[in-house]
């Protein structure tokens, strides 16, 4: 597969605190940060106490980030945020937004993808680095999943 094709691949990216850490994530806090990023954000919370069969509360959202629509979801337990149908570039933009806007300073972020989970690849730390290096990290992860063959 050509590198250009790899850069266009979309998958679900999952971001969570490192084991033993917490971001203190609340839907209210995340909603405020999403509204600051995009006043036209779409947000829907599904709570099992309201008859949702998922078992846990989820917050679904869609907002514009770096000029592109990004769909995602958040969960309080286990704590984490996911970006759906996302390229490595979009994932890098999203994780930078999370780090600067939604997660308290000093907390770490781990990541995986839907393909990584299916391939039993463990979560990996997201280093504090330049966006281009994050993109390379995410692309290398996609290759490591073996889903391209």
Let me know if residue 60 belongs to a domain.
Answer: yes
- Strand extents, DSSP E, 23-143: 42-46, 58-65, 68-75, 80-86, 110-113, 124-125
**What gap in Å lies between CA 83 and CA 29, rounded to an integer?**
17
Let me know if residue 78 belongs to a domain.
Answer: yes
Taking alpha carbons only, the member of 11, 13, 15 closest to residue 102 is: 15
Let me know if residue 149 belongs to a domain.
Answer: no
Please list the ranges in the chain whose pLDDT falls under 70.
Answer: 1-4, 48-55, 147-149
Taking alpha carbons only, the member of 79, 106, 80, 97 closest to residue 134 is: 97
Let me know if residue 62 belongs to a domain.
Answer: yes
User: How many folded domains does the chain comprise?
Assistant: 1
Let me know if residue 132 belongs to a domain.
Answer: yes
Q: Which domain holds residue 111?
A: 3-144
The predicted pLDDT at position 52 comes to: 47
Let me know if residue 85 belongs to a domain.
Answer: yes
Q: What is the CA radius of gyration of the chain?
A: 15
The structure tokens listed for 64 are 């514009």
pTM attached to this predicted model: 0.90
The predicted pLDDT at position 4 comes to: 54
DSSP-derived 3-state class of residue 124: strand
Rounded to the nearest 10 degrees, the angle between the axes of helix 131-144 and helix 88-97 is 130
The predicted pLDDT at position 114 comes to: 94
The predicted pLDDT at position 147 comes to: 58
């Amino acid at each position: 597969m050509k590198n250009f094709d790899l850069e266009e691949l979309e998958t679900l990216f999952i971001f969570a605190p490192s084991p033993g850490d917490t971001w203190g994530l609340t839907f209210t806090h995340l909603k405020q940060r999403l509204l600051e990023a995009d006043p036209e954000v779409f947000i829907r919370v599904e709570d099992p106490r309201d008859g949702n069969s998922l078992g846990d509360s989820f917050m679904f959202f869609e907002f514009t980030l770096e000029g592109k629509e990004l769909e995602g979801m958040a969960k309080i337990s286990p704590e984490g945020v996911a970006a759906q149908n996302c390229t490595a570039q979009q994932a890098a933009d999203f994780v930078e937004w999370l780090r600067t806007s939604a997660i308290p300073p000093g907390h770490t972020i781990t990541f995986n993808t839907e393909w990584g989970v299916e391939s039993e690849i463990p979560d990996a730390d997201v280093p504090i680095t330049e966006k281009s290096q994050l993109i390379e990290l995410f692309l290398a992860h996609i290759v490591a999943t073996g889903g391209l063959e």
